[in-house]
Structure 1
């Protein structure tokens, strides 16, 4: 899906992966599920690109539904995978998330599980090597992605600001479609380690100028960062 001159999405509103395409090559933001590999190749082909044009994968955090094809790119194609230092062990499978499911609706939850199973969510390969990053660093990758720490969903959750794409990629710092209830619109994400910290961390995004707010789960939000945060705080206080 084309979102802008330098911005593509693969997957869907259940699980999403993003590509930043520039003259210097392609940066992949999150790696979804293992079965998204074919969609990745198809999107690259549509761009006139190949896997050889991918310069790096940046993970918003270390959960399995964001690792997908990351190790395949690293192992088979030498693509470095970047993750916050506080989530490096999580991405390598050395620690597990303290998962709390919270509110659910049967249809939405079943749809999420079924989609994940069909896309290889039960055979995720953890990373064996990562490039650890920290808050504030600008990565030497296409689009010059800037790392912004937003801990809460996980200790090393980050947002990634890419000005050329007019976008901030937020992973599970928020969602615009709750995968367990089907509720739409900006709101706190499920499976969050520390919901209070996650909500407080949104303040780190308040000064970002970007039209697109792009979560790992949900419809791309084009209403700007300020309005997304306002909506989430309203939902959280209700």
Structure 2
């Protein structure tokens, strides 16, 4: 799925211990010096991500930067192996989630108490993954309003609530919103963040107001994929009065 020459949306099958089999939509931004990958999929499912990159006609070695929209395991899960496989790759995230992504703080949702209630094989996998996060190295901070040069240009929009450091990216050249988990597509309709996975739902709904007035023609949601149209009606419905 392409939006012009600079933006490719990957389709990656994912098996989640919480959601079961599903599909996620990481994004590649293409520039003269290489690729920027936005989000990395679930840990233990690296091969599926690599296959999607190859099917898009790109090479893993062309990835120069990785942007993490937030800390959830289905977004950062392949980060440790990508860092090992791509020497010198640069990492970017909002400071609200960097302590978790770097392994210095516990995950907001996948808490130690929750992990102990998971199947033993999953416990072993996630504990190994969490240990690997401490070895990632430097993560560059992204802040609300930052203008990034990649993919023809992108604006960082800090949308906390789903996690403290959740971000969306707006690409004005394509009038495209990369909504991460702030929005989702369910049964062909645009919806707000999943309440069951959003610890501070009132804040997440207030964050929708930061998307007010953007001239959006298309949206890519990490869960649900492409939606053609503006989020404004949904924003007015969900965040009206907040």
TM-score normalized by the length of structure 2 = 0.74
Secondary structure of the structure 1 residue equivalent to 2:215: coil
The higher radius of gyration belongs to 2
Q: Does 1:208 align with 2:214?
A: yes
Unpaired runs of at least 5, structure 2: 14-21, 111-117
Q: Please, which moves more after superposition, 192-201 or 91-100?
A: 91-100
Compare relative contact order (CA 8 Å, sep 6+) and give the higher one, 1 or 2.
Answer: 1
Aligned length: 215
Map of 1:126 onto structure 2:
133
Map of 1:4 onto structure 2:
3
Residue 209 (structure 1) shift: 2.0
Aligned counterparts of 2:126 and 2:212: Cα–Cα separation in 1: 33
Alignment of 1:83-94 (within 5 A): 83-94=93-104
Secondary structure of the structure 2 residue equivalent to 1:220: strand
1:19 to 18, 28, 41: 28
Residue 173 (structure 1) shift: 1.6
CA 1:55–1:143 in 2, change beyond 3 Å: closer, same or farther? farther
Q: Does 1:218 align with 2:224?
A: yes
Q: Please, which moves more after superposition, 4-13 or 60-69?
A: 4-13
Aligned counterparts of 2:3 and 2:151: Cα–Cα separation in 1: 15
Aligned counterparts of 2:51 and 2:157: Cα–Cα separation in 1: 30
Q: Please, which moves more after superposition, 195-204 or 224-233?
A: 224-233
1:188 to 185, 193, 201: 193
Would you say the 8 A contact 1:65–1:121 is kept in 2? no
Residue 36 (structure 1) shift: 4.4
Secondary structure of the structure 1 residue equivalent to 2:26: strand
1:75-108 deviations in Å (ceiling 9; x for gaps): 33121111101110011233234439xxxxxxxx
Would you say the 8 A contact 1:60–1:171 is kept in 2? yes
- Give the alignment's Cα RMSD to 1 decimal: 3.2
Aligned counterparts of 1:8 and 1:98: Cα–Cα separation in 2: 27
1:6-34 deviations in Å (ceiling 9; x for gaps): 32222255433122234443221111113
Would you say the 8 A contact 1:64–1:91 is kept in 2? no
Secondary structure of the structure 2 residue equivalent to 1:86: coil
1:155 to 164, 168, 171: 164
CA 1:32–1:142 in 2, change beyond 3 Å: closer, same or farther? same
Aligned counterparts of 1:157 and 1:133: Cα–Cα separation in 2: 11
CA 1:183–1:8 in 2, change beyond 3 Å: closer, same or farther? closer
Aligned counterparts of 1:202 and 1:222: Cα–Cα separation in 2: 18
Map of 1:28 onto structure 2:
37
Q: Does 1:40 align with 2:49?
A: yes
Residue 205 (structure 1) shift: 0.9
